[in-house]
Amino acid sequence: MKKEWWQEAVVYQIYCKSFCDSNGDGIGDLRGVISKLPDIKELGVNCIWFNPLYRSPQVDNGYDISDYQDIDPSYGTLDDFKELLELAHSMGIRVVMDLVLNHTSDEHKWFQESRKSKDNPYRNYYVWRAPKENGKEPNNWGNYFYEGRGSAWQFDELTGEYYLHNYSWKMPDVNWEYEPLRQEMYKMMRWWLDLGVDGFRLDAINRLKKPAGLPDSKMPPAPPVGIYGYVVDRAICTNVPGIHEILREINKNVWSQYDIMTVGETGNLSSDGALDYICQSHNEIDMVFHFEIGKNANIITVNQYKETQQRWIDLMKHNAWISQFLTNHDSPRQVSRFGNDKEYRVPSAKMLATLVHTMPGTPFVYQGEEIGMTNVYFDTIDDYNERYTIGKYNTMIEAGVSPEKALGKLRDLSRDNARTPYQWNDSANAGFTTGKPWIKVNPRYPEINFEADRKSPDSIFEYYKKLIQMRRDHPAIIDGNFRFLMMEHPQMVVYLRKCARETLLVVTNFSDDKIKIELPQEIQDFTWERILTNRADTQPSLSGRTEWLPWEAEVYTLSE
């Protein structure tokens, strides 16, 4: 079957702000990215997803857009972007933009107009409501960033009404019920696609539709903002009936007219509801990022990991495609969260990559994973930048929690873990900037950096290169069907990928322990040739193998 290009792609996610600073202002920029394109090319990826580059007050690092059709001056100019796009294309690398359709910045001209008066032509671009009789907010919704005392409504004195902001008060939600807003968004998307971009990562895409009548959340109020009567209910504006009509209409008017990839960020979506979005015959979006593996405060067990993968992979039988990733710019670092960033940093980084790149679906690499970058532990809240960590910290302090305790609770999960500057080498500021970086560099940079990794015989980058090359050389990785073996085992993740031309076997140990176990007879009956390993010190032959080292990862092919 002929595949779409995005089914064969490997996507590299660039958080431009933290990637490479070309002019010493401490902020990563497009010229910095241009200077590193050869390294990206060498890795073998053939698509880049950029976190938002648009003009923005940078309250949420670009997710607060004040002009959709311009590049933020801190990143460069539109001409820089065009140059980058052309260069990337000439190197065989596609470029996907992050697109925020759920909200804009309050500094966007639409909102500036909207707030002016109740009969302003832009009024209905946003969600305005009169106060309740007692002057209170229209409902009990809390904002996801825990800002202020937590409400998702901001009172605007100019017209005496509240506007809805599910995220920051600086990021008002737009109103997708209003046709002129829709048309404006379509026009803007076409403009980027006509410029040559290859698709969109669609921010918070399952939140565009709000529930009719904007009813109170029935969830019990929980600390810290519960004490003020607000409820942070991430489900209430998600997957609301009517969302699919909105997406189908965008698809019909815009996306279907171009050869592009669309991948939706869908918090609060389980495999149950996913087909409605990604079944190809529904004409909505190509893939989603779900968070059944990586989101919650609790790390899932290896068995839960397998069970979740199985559910999502099963969807592929119904004319759908899935994404593979473990972490991104909104989460801790992959090797810190799922691996062991201390004594097994290198093998566990490679083992996790093996899963991402050999399971069915399109793999996404977040910048820094390919050199095993780790979480950062800042000592004071002042060193943190991202809105969610700071908002939650402040409300916890207000609710009487001690600073140490608050920080202790937030540190492991803070999104800033993933946002510290890329570690290029062991010079000052990890070679990211000659100036003062906008956020502190991870203190482990003298040990963990691109240059050091490239020199190491045990290089993680080299291992990624091999994995990505495998996707080109082994059709079973893209086309093969999938079957877990030893499903019940609490540490080993073992599976087969089989297509008409070949059978691959992936054997991984998802733990710090040395595991003693024999592979099932159906494997032992055949001869397997090892094509990849993350441990130099093990025997290449499968026969008689009963012991698996911590975080060991191996890929074999069935010998004829």
Q: How far is the CB of 384 from Ca ion (least distance, A)?
A: 21
Phi and psi at residue 187, to the nearest 5°: -60, -45
Residues known to be catalytic: 203, 265
Q: How far is the CB of 2 from ligand GLC (least distance, A)?
A: 32
Under the criterion CB under 6 A, does residue 448 sit at the interface with ligand GLC?
no
Helix axis angle, 460-473 relative to 30-43, nearest 10°? 60
Phi and psi at residue 85, to the nearest 5°: -60, -45
Strands 553-558 and 54-55 turn out to be: unpaired
Cβ closest to Ca ion, residue 76 vs residue 224: 76
Q: Which positions ≥6 away from 498 have C-beta within 8 Å?
A: 476, 480, 481, 483, 504
Under the criterion CB under 6 A, does residue 286 sit at the interface with ligand GLC?
no
Cβ closest to ligand GLC, residue 206 vs residue 395: 206
Q: In the set 111, 167, 230, 432, which binds ligand GLC (CB under 6 A)?
A: 167
Under the criterion CB under 6 A, does residue 453 sit at the interface with ligand GLC?
no
**Closest residue by beta carbon to ligand GLC:** 63
Q: How far is the CB of 126 from Ca ion (least distance, A)?
A: 32
| DSSP 8-state code for residue 151 | B
Under the criterion CB under 6 A, does residue 265 sit at the interface with ligand GLC?
yes
Q: In the set 15, 21, 40, 63, which binds Ca ion (CB under 5 A)?
A: 21
Distance of alpha carbon 509 from alpha carbon 126, whole angstroms: 50
| CB-CB contact of 290 with 271 (8 Å) | yes
Q: How far is the CB of 23 from Ca ion (least distance, A)?
A: 5
Using CB under 6 A as the binding rule, the residues of this chain from 313 to 372 that contact ligand GLC are: 329-330
- Return the residue matching tokens 């997803």: 49
User: Residue 397 carries which side chain, given as an amino acid letter?
Assistant: I
Give the one entry of Ca ion, ligand GLC, none that residue 460 binds, where binding means its C-beta sits below a cut-off of 5 to 8 angstroms depending on kind. none
The stretch near Ca ion (CB under 5 A) out of 15-23, 174-182, 188-196, 410-418 is 15-23
Using CB under 5 A as the binding rule, the residues of this chain from 23 to 62 that contact Ca ion are: 23, 25, 27, 29
Give the one entry of ligand GLC, Ca ion, none that residue 177 binds, where binding means its C-beta sits below a cut-off of 5 to 8 angstroms depending on kind. none
Q: DSSP letters along 178-218, please?
A: -HHHHHHHHHHHHHHHHHT--EEEEETGGGSSPPTT-PPP-
CB-count burial class (<10 Å; 0-12, 13-18, 19+) for 73: exposed
Distance of alpha carbon 462 from alpha carbon 376, whole angstroms: 24
Distance of alpha carbon 530 from alpha carbon 542, whole angstroms: 8
- What residues does 533 pair with on adjacent strands? 554
Q: What is the pattern of x (binds ligand GLC, CB under 6 A) and - over residues 59-98? A: -x--x-----------------------------------
Under the criterion CB under 5 A, does residue 137 sit at the interface with Ca ion?
no
Cβ closest to Ca ion, residue 25 vs residue 156: 25
Give the one entry of Ca ion, ligand GLC, none that residue 120 binds, where binding means its C-beta sits below a cut-off of 5 to 8 angstroms depending on kind. none
- What residues does 120 pair with on adjacent strands? none
Cβ closest to ligand GLC, residue 198 vs residue 330: 330
Q: In the set 203, 292, 552, 554, which binds ligand GLC (CB under 6 A)?
A: 203
Under the criterion CB under 6 A, does residue 100 sit at the interface with ligand GLC?
yes
Distance of alpha carbon 213 from alpha carbon 471, whole angstroms: 49
- What residues does 499 pair with on adjacent strands? 502
Distance of alpha carbon 481 from alpha carbon 247, whole angstroms: 30
Give the one entry of ligand GLC, Ca ion, none that residue 426 binds, where binding means its C-beta sits below a cut-off of 5 to 8 angstroms depending on kind. none
| CB-CB contact of 289 with 265 (8 Å) | yes
Which secondary structure element, helix H or strand E, spans residue 252, and what is its range? helix 243-253
Q: How far is the CB of 72 from Ca ion (least distance, A)?
A: 11
Name the residues that contact ligand GLC, by CB under 6 A.
60, 63, 100, 167, 203-204, 265, 329-330
